Amino acid sequence: MLVGIDVGGTKAAGVLVDMISGTVIDSQRAASNGSGSDLVTTLVGIVDSFAERSDKPISAVGLAIAGLVERSGMVRWSPNLPSAVDYPVASEVSQALGLPVATVNDATAAALAESHLGAGRGCDDFALVTLGTGIGAGLVSGGRLLYGAHGFAGEPGHSVLVADGPTHMTGQNGPWEFFASGNALGRMGREAKLGTTGEDVVAALAAGNDLAAEVFDSWCLEVARGLVNLIVILDLERVILGGGLVSVGEPLRAGVESWLGQLLPGALARPPVGVFLAELGDEAGARGAALLAEEGQACAT
């Protein structure tokens, strides 16, 4: 059996996965707040209680973490989970359990899970782009996950779409995340007096509000703009949209696909790029971390 845990800013969500079938046998959540040492105790507790309830032994653990995760397993930057930054979470969990622990960026883990079990099946060149509070990505090229030199690959939210544009919370001017995250949709909704959050725009869209449809379409254009840059660099066959905004469903997929067709250069020479919705929901990160633990890849400690 394998354990994968998606370690977020407020909660750690674990799954117990059968190695043969890949199915999720058990799942569990716990608060992830407190110090680095508290976090280790929480994660060890999740694995221990899976072990108590399972009739087969656990052989490895994978941790999916939002932030810059080094291939060594160390988290170097994580605005949502400061307790894990520069703290030896993986090695302490490994020591406490006597098991190998792999650590990986959450979007990279989700891309692996979608590749094996979801919307990326049978596709060797795709990006999973998570549209939530921010923007994250996991990249598959030539059938392999891209980690980059330090494990930091797949941060297109920080790519700049408007040089000298508005200043984002990261200090950058005009990054994709400023224009196309869930937070950006909320800002566009406030400007149109549709509510205060991205969820308000989504609710008005679902209720058939015309102004909401217009705002949402403008936001889909911003999503497509960043995807164009990913596609011309990586020559993707598919784009898979994940994260909280996937709840919008087909209007999201169709809106982004339509703008992409209009913006992509060399469209006559290039086969169209398919836009898909992620299939694994909020378990993708944890399931991908379990897969990586099995493969012993990523940042095994």
**Positions that interact with its own copies (CB under 8 A):** 68, 76-77, 124-125, 137, 139, 141-142, 144, 146-156, 158-163, 170-172, 175, 225, 228-230, 232-237, 265-266, 268-271
Nearer to its own copies, 148 or 244 (CB): 148
CA dist., res. 166 & res. 185, Å (int): 15
67: Cβ contacts below 8 Å, ≥ 6 apart:
75, 76, 77, 78, 79, 80, 81, 84, 85, 105
Q: The tokens of 208 are what?
A: 């058939």
Nearer to its own copies, 13 or 74 (CB): 74
CA dist., res. 172 & res. 177, Å (int): 10
Q: Do the strands 68-69 and 75-77 form a parallel or antiparallel pair, or are they unpaired?
A: antiparallel
33: Cβ contacts below 8 Å, ≥ 6 apart:
10, 83
The strand pairing partners of 63, in sequence order, are 5, 103
Closest approach, Cβ 28 to its own copies, in A, equals 30
Nearer to its own copies, 157 or 186 (CB): 157
Nearest to 216 by CA among 237, 176, 188, 258: 188
Closest approach, Cβ 74 to its own copies, in A, equals 10
Closest approach, Cβ 244 to its own copies, in A, equals 22
Closest approach, Cβ 35 to its own copies, in A, equals 20
For tokens 């099946």, name the residue. Answer: 121
Q: Give phi and psi for 34, each to the nearest 5.
A: 100, -165
Q: How far apart are the first and last CA of the chain?
A: 18
CA dist., res. 86 & res. 91, Å (int): 12
Q: The tokens of 100 are what?
A: 């190998």
Closest approach, Cβ 1 to its own copies, in A, equals 29
215: Cβ contacts below 8 Å, ≥ 6 apart:
185, 188, 189, 192, 194, 201
The strand pairing partners of 160, in sequence order, are 175
Closest approach, Cβ 126 to its own copies, in A, equals 8
Nearer to its own copies, 1 or 66 (CB): 66
Q: The tokens of 170 are what?
A: 């990261």
Closest approach, Cβ 82 to its own copies, in A, equals 12
Nearer to its own copies, 265 or 281 (CB): 265
Nearer to its own copies, 22 or 148 (CB): 148
Closest approach, Cβ 251 to its own copies, in A, equals 22
CA dist., res. 156 & res. 127, Å (int): 10
Nearer to its own copies, 216 or 259 (CB): 259
Nearer to its own copies, 11 or 158 (CB): 158
